[in-house]
Amino acid sequence: MKTRRKELDVDFIGSQEPLTLPEEKALSEFFKKKKELKKQKIVRLRKTSQKPKVEA
């Protein structure tokens, strides 16, 4: 079963005003945290993906 989404017939979403300084800082912090979490996740995946060597 497919879900259908209605396309919005608008050129923009939100207001046309520039961001305020607190909004810019909040967005900057959000993206820094997101980037850091993504980096940590990649490091964790690399560590767990290595198979231990077995000596026979």
Range among 3-12, 21-30, 42-51 rated most confident: 21-30
Tokens of 12: 């923009």
CA 25/CA 22 separation, integer angstroms: 5
What pLDDT is stored for residue 53 in this prediction?
78
Q: Note the pLDDT tens digit of each residue in 4-17.
A: 788 777 777 777 88
Is 19:27 a contact under the CB 8 Å cutoff? yes
Q: Note the pLDDT tens digit of each residue in 26-42.
A: 999 999 999 999 888 87
